[in-house]
Chain A
Amino acid sequence: MPNERIIIKGTSSGLVITIGPGVWQGLIEELDSGLGQKASFFKGGRVALRVGPRQLTRPQLEAAGQVLNRHNVTLWAVESEAPGTQEAAVQLGLETDLSPPNLTVDAAQTSESQRDSLIIQRTLRSGQVVNHPGHVVIIGDVNPGAEIKAGGSVIVWGRLRGIVHAGAEDGYQEKAVVCALHLAPMQLRIGNWVSRAPADDSDHEFMPEMASIQDGQIVAESWNG
């Protein structure tokens, strides 16, 4: 579609066709031919129209919807600043705000992509247990008596003084790391390796450290950036 008055974009709320200034009828015809060329791309999808401040009547929107339908594309929303256009869209049962479905799409995507990591923004106290197949991030302390078991890595933005088991899932075992601003766990496990806190815990230095598997054993190194 060579015309810049019609812009088709994939956004987080799906495909959005922005119709720029110009004669509405002409633009819709252009869109019609443009969609014809890319039929396979759009087929079966749904789009939203963004028409700016343009005043559109119900029949005009209906016609636009039919044009899209012919290309097997469903019109689900019309976004406009003009109240008349919004009203017409509502009468046709179309959405006028792109954000609500946007939110649901986002939520679905988020749960999918973040299945890998869990963020907890509080201190884990004695007796509290976190068990997660992916990575675990704690923003807060992990107190003595608390436990974290993560399939992947564990990052604690605070003091880590409880029991931590990273790399509990296959595939992560040796790659998993445990990082903390103050790494002083009662017991630290990565995969099948176990290390205990040194009996002398007089070390009150507040120094970020990272524990990982090196040459078949757990090694904690200070984080020097």
Chain B
Amino acid sequence: MSATVITITSGKGGVGKTTATANLSAALAAQGKKVVAIDADIGLRNLDVVMGLENRIVYDLVNVVEGTCRLRQAMIKDKRLDGLYLIPAAQTRDKTAITPGDMIELTNQMRDEFDFILIDSPAGIEQGFKNAVAPADRVLIVTTPEVSAVRDADRIIGLIEAEEKGPGDLIVNRLRMDMVKRGDMLHTDDVIDVLAINLIGVVPDDESIIISTNQGRPVVMQNGSTAGQAFKNIAMRLTGQDVPLINFEESDSFITRLSKLFKVSG
């Protein structure tokens, strides 16, 4: 077994990196893969909260790197899903506590044991980002359909290309089709038009994400959430399965389709 190291990043904060990391990790584990999620956001740790594992933290990433504990001791096993582990970030330190070299070494130690190593990158383009991207085999860039988030994603893609980590794959998060239809939100096509990289998934805006984040239970562990389904699909694409993109426009009513027709002809 040789793990694929996937870093989830965005540039801009608050677009859903941590949510994406938690859900993709859980979805991959649900597929029977052995997965470890690493929170690289040292000083602002969140992934443990979103995954609902906060109360089980004893050691963290910085402890491992500094040799205070063994790697195994810092890995928290998720009891809800077989094969899902978390290495939390330190809360009392900052990004300079570790180096890109540490991250490469750490992931190399785990490659034989896991199928996927997912790294939740901090926002920004500084040291924390560099730490997170250094060991990556693949990079997923999360953006929301907003001009500012797309601008930052573009910057990040440029930096990733400079690190020769490929252009990466894009997740468009929090899409609201109703707003797109009204012309109040960028369409996925508009985002791709600027970024010109492979789109690996579109996640609709979904209240259940907020609820699940507060409960510490990733939406992919629940049924009936459209965002959860979107993350499951992305996880399947990561394992090489060919899953078509969900077409959010299918829910068009007869009337809206009719009015569209009139718009075109009129």
Chain A residues at the B interface, C-beta cutoff of 8 Å: 122-128, 141, 143-145, 161
Contacts and interface: CB of A to CB of B under 8 A. Distances in A.
Contacts of B158: 124-128
Contacts of A145: 151, 154-155
Interface in B214-266: none
Contacts of B151: 126, 144-145
Contacts of A144: 151, 154, 194
B196 interface: yes
Nearest to A122: B161
B196 A126 contact: no
Contacts of A143: 154, 194
Interface string B191-205: 000101000000000
B196 A141 contact: yes
Given A125-B158, A145-B154, 16 more contacts: A123-B196, A124-B158, A125-B154, A125-B155, A125-B157, A126-B151, A126-B152, A127-B155, A127-B158, A127-B159, A141-B196, A143-B194, A144-B154, A145-B151, A145-B155, A161-B194
Nearest to A161: B194
Interface string B124-162: 000000000000000000000000000110110111010
A138 to B, nearest CB: 14
Nearest to A202: B183
Give the top 6 A-B pairs by smallest Cβ distance, nearest first: A125-B158, A126-B154, A126-B155, A127-B155, A125-B154, A126-B151
B22 to A, nearest CB: 28
Nearest to A141: B196
User: Interface of chain B, helix or strand or loop or mixed?
Assistant: helix
Interface residues of B, number: 10
Contacts of A141: 196
Tell which of A123, A144, A161 has the most Cβ of chain B within 10 Å: A123
A125 B154 CA distance: 6
Nearest to A140: B196
Contacts of A161: 194
B49 to A, nearest CB: 31
B169 to A, nearest CB: 16
Contacts of B161: 122, 125
A57 B151 CA distance: 69
Contacts of B155: 125-127, 145
Contacts of A125: 154-155, 157-158, 161
Contacts of A127: 154-155, 158-159
Tell which of B155, B157, B158, B159 has the most Cβ of chain A within 10 Å: B158
A144 B194 CA distance: 8
Contacts of B152: 126
Contacts of A126: 151-152, 154-155, 158
B162 to A, nearest CB: 9
A146 to B, nearest CB: 8
B40 to A, nearest CB: 21
A141 B157 CA distance: 14
A145 B155 CA distance: 8
Contacts of A123: 196
Contacts of B157: 125
B141 to A, nearest CB: 12
A52 B188 CA distance: 64
A205 to B, nearest CB: 14
Tell which of B157, B159, B161, B194 has the most Cβ of chain A within 10 Å: B194
Tell which of A126, A143, A161 has the most Cβ of chain B within 10 Å: A126
A123 to B, nearest CB: 6
A124 to B, nearest CB: 8
A122 B154 CA distance: 14
A223 B159 CA distance: 34
Contacts of A128: 158
Contacts of B196: 123, 141
Nearest to B154: A126
A124 B158 CA distance: 8
A122 B158 CA distance: 11
15 contacts: A123-B196, A124-B158, A125-B155, A125-B158, A125-B161, A126-B151, A126-B155, A127-B158, A127-B159, A128-B158, A141-B196, A144-B151, A145-B151, A145-B154, A145-B155
A124 B159 CA distance: 11
A110 B158 CA distance: 28
